[in-house]
């Protein structure tokens, strides 16, 4: 009798063509089940015919802005040395740069450029509150940031020129870092896959996959990164909230105290009381826990914030402006999300929590703009929330001073 050997599971393909079904080449449910946080995927023609919505000189200009988060990384091939400089940069710096081996990276370009932000609509198969930003990098020929790993999911979309990507998709890649450079570069990198991506191609990488990208010619790459707070970041903010809201009357108690065997010992009974005291502080109420997380995740890693206007409109002024055709525009730095509560829902706007009906919370969380038609569909609490959001700077009336608005982008 022949003994049957167990078949190893067949892995899904690591490369697909999305010409007929952009941007993933498959239904989102299939991508999430087979690849999301499990396996890298190269998607050819994820954005067929893509023309970059931003030019290299525009990116360089943005890197000169005080409020923009920008970095300049250069590589000395002879010594394998790397240097890192942070912006803002002077306008006359970039024309003097060499034609090879450097990369300019600018974070949160989607907050500055509406055409770049429009690309996020293609990623609506993911919760919007999970998406952090679109980082745009310009690299001269040979430009790179070195072999590294990210601790979050990322979609690397080639927008202009060509970039060579190498990844190590092995099960247990070495993750030790070099100690001779200020960047977190891998000491050892052995690629298992090697591709050259052109405009419209996209590489998805789960957290922890070593990768190296090198510009084959002057190129632009868009990195759509996710928000992935560490457990340490979660617990730190959670504890800060618990401490701030703690009731001083809740203390360590021992009404059942008995004479100890050894007065110097912290015994098991005492530790049980410690656990009871700590448990009394926990957010056992789902609404309270949900409000904490909603506030946290809509402010996590925020590159900037909306500023309250010098003079906010009254409710009557707001309603009149909308009736005259005005449209409220959401501030680009404002992050929104919503969740169901035991009664209705809560809308979160960059750390603010506003209770309202589920229908209103869903509508406002999705509304980049609010016009009279949308406003009329809102209930009383939803309309009140709109005024609060304007007063906080999260929505801007067209009459608002443009310079004041731009100063806080």
Grade residue 1 by pLDDT with cuts at 50, 70 and 90: low
Query: Is 43 within 8 Å of 23 (Cβ atoms)?
Result: yes
Q: How far apart (Å, rounded) are the C-alpha atoms in residues 356 and 191?
A: 51
**What would the pLDDT profile of 197-214 be if each residue is shown by its tens digit?**
999 999 999 999 999 999
Q: What is the CB-side half-sphere exposure of residue 128 using CA atoms within 13 A?
A: 21
Residue with tokens 């293609």: 122
Amino acid 202: pLDDT: 98
Please report which confidence band the pLDDT of residue 7 belongs to, taking 50, 70 and 90 as the band edges.
Answer: low
Alpha-carbon Rg for the chain in angstroms: 26
What CATH class does 315-396 carry?
alpha beta
Average pLDDT over residues 342-358: 97
- Give alpha helix (H) positions in 71-121: 109-112, 114-117
Domain ranges in the chain?
15-226, 230-255+266-282, 315-396
Give the model confidence (pLDDT) of 99-138 as tens digits: 999 999 999 999 999 999 999 999 999 999 999 999 999 9
Mean pLDDT of the chain: 93
Span 258-267, average pLDDT:
95
Mean pLDDT for 156-173 is: 97
Which pLDDT belongs to residue 301?
86
Write b or e for each residue in 155-184: b if 16 or more Cβ atoms lie within 10 A of its Cβ, otherwise e: bbbbbbbbbebbbbbeeebeeeebeeeeee
Prior bond of 48 cis (ω within 30°): no
Average the pLDDT over 322-347 and give the result.
Answer: 96
Using alpha carbons, list the distances in angstroms from residue 282 to 233, 250, 296, 297, 353.
17, 12, 17, 19, 20
Average pLDDT over residues 307-324: 92
Distances in Å between the alpha carbon of 278 and those of 207, 230, 236, 245, 357? 33, 22, 15, 13, 34
In this predicted structure, the answer to whether residue 280 has a pLDDT above a threshold of 90 is: no
* CATH 2.60.120.650 for domain 15-226: yes
Residue 404 has pLDDT above 50, yes or no: no
| CA–CA distance, 206 with 314 (Å, rounded to integer) | 47
Average pLDDT estimate for 356-372: 98
């Amino acid at each position: 009798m022949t003994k049957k050997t167990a078949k190893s599971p067949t892995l899904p393909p690591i490369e697909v063509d999305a010409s007929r079904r952009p941007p993933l080449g498959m239904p989102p449910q299939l991508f999430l089940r087979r690849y999301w946080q499990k396996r890298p995927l190269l998607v050819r023609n994820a954005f067929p015919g893509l023309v970059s919505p931003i030019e290299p000189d525009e990116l360089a200009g943005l890197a000169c802005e005080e409020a923009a988060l920008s970095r300049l990384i250069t590589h000395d091939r002879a010594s394998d040395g790397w240097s890192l400089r942070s912006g803002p940069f002077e306008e006359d710096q970039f024309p003097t740069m060499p034609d090879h081996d450097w990369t300019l990276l600018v974070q949160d370009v989607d907050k500055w450029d509406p055409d770049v932000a429009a690309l996020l609509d293609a990623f609506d198969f993911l919760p919007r509150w999970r998406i952090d930003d679109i980082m745009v990098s310009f690299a001269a020929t040979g430009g790179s940031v070195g072999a590294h790993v990210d601790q979050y999911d990322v979609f690397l979309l080639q927008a202009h020129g060509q970039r060579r990507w190498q990844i190590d998709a092995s099960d247990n890649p070495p993750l030790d870092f070099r100690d001779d450079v200020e960047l977190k570069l891998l000491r050892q990198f052995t690629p298992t896959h090697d591709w050259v991506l052109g405009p419209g191609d996209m590489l998805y990488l789960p957290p922890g996959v070593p990768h190296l990208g090198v510009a084959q010619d002057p190129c632009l790459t868009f990195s759509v990164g996710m928000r992935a707070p560490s457990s340490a970041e979660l617990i730190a903010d959670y504890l800060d909230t618990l401490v701030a809201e703690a009731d001083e009357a809740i203390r360590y108690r021992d009404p059942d105290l008995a004479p100890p065997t050894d007065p110097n010992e912290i015994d098991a009974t005492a530790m049980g009381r410690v656990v009871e005291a700590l448990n009394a502080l926990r957010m056992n109420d789902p609404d309270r826990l949900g409000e904490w997380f909603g506030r946290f995740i809509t402010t996590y890693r925020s590159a900037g914030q909306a500023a309250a206007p010098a003079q906010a409109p009254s409710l009557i002024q707001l309603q009149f402006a909308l009736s005259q055709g005005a449209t409220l525009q959401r501030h680009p730095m404002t992050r929104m999300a919503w969740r169901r509560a035991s009664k209705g829902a809560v809308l979160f706007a960059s750390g603010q929590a506003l209770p309202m009906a589920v229908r209103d919370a869903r509508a406002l969380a999705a509304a980049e703009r609010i016009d009279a038609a949308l406003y009329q569909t809102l209930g009383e609490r939803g309309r009140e929330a709109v005024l609060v959001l304007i007063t906080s700077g999260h929505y801007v009336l067209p009459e608002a001073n443009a310079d004041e608005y731009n100063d806080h982008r």
